[in-house]
Amino acid sequence: MITDLIKRAETEFLPWVLESISVENDEQFKNISDVLGVGKKIKKSLSTACTEERRPHIEKADEVTAQYKPIINRVDLGIDLLDKALLAYHTKKKAEADGLLQMQLQEEAKKIEECKQTGEVYEAPQAITQTVRQTVHGNMSTTSVIEVFNYEIIDDNLVPRDCCSPDLKKIKAKHKYDGLPIPGVLITPHSRTQTRLG
């Protein structure tokens, strides 16, 4: 079983993962999304197979884990590189679109002011940029860039009593419900990918 999965990882995923991955255009974004989907599917298959193989051999569990660990770590590294490349490209593309939109809004504000002074009727032009989508559809996969949060308690005494012990599960639920800062908790947003294959 493991030799088949290692062969799949070695032929279907790892050759496509270089030490440094960058995304330069939409087609590359789609293709890397597909490779990321394959990698995540292979990782899930490897983890499931590892769990199944361990079940009847609890006493040999460490041996089995040691057998799977190197390839799972390599696949994890590949997934991490692909994630970073997709997120970097998405962030770059979003910043460019936001910059263009800001520039257009400034130009429109000037034109509106000129029209007020001259009495001309202002006709708004079409937007020069499209909003950057959070989801990309590759040839075999769908990858969404979603905003999630990391939580770290920095001062137990400031955390509201309804979030106490302080309990991160309660803190996450409170933040998700009201979206407000929580005293004593450092909440930092970060992006991650969510990929479905096929």
Most confident residue range from 31-35, 70-74, 95-99: 70-74
Boundary of a domain, candidates 75, 95, 115: 95
Please tell me the predicted confidence (pLDDT) of residue 141. 86
pLDDT at 129 over 80: no
Same domain? 80 vs 12: yes
Please tell me the predicted confidence (pLDDT) of residue 56. 79
Please tell me the predicted confidence (pLDDT) of residue 18. 64
Same domain? 86 vs 163: no
pLDDT tens-digit series, residues 109-120: 888 888 888 878
Boundary of a domain, candidates 95, 114, 146: 95
Full residue range of the structural domain in which residue 75 is found: 2-95
Residue 125 lies in a domain: no
What percent of the chain has pLDDT above 90?
14
- Helical H segments across the chain, by residue range: 2-8, 26-54, 61-118, 168-178
Q: What is the domain count for the chain? A: 2
The answer to whether 54 and 61 are in contact (CB under 8 A) is yes
What percent of the chain has pLDDT above 70?
95
Residue 106 lies in a domain: no
The mean pLDDT value of the chain amounts to 85
pLDDT tens-digit series, residues 146-166: 888 888 888 888 888 777 666
Nearest to 166 by CA among 189, 182, 150: 182
The answer to whether 84 and 21 are in contact (CB under 8 A) is yes
Boundary of a domain, candidates 35, 66, 95: 95
Backbone angles phi, psi at 16, to 5 degrees: -85, -10
pTM of the model: 0.56
pLDDT tens-digit series, residues 43-80: 999 999 988 887 777 777 788 888 999 999 999 999 99
Residue 119 lies in a domain: no
Residue 164 lies in a domain: yes
Higher pLDDT, 136 or 83: 83
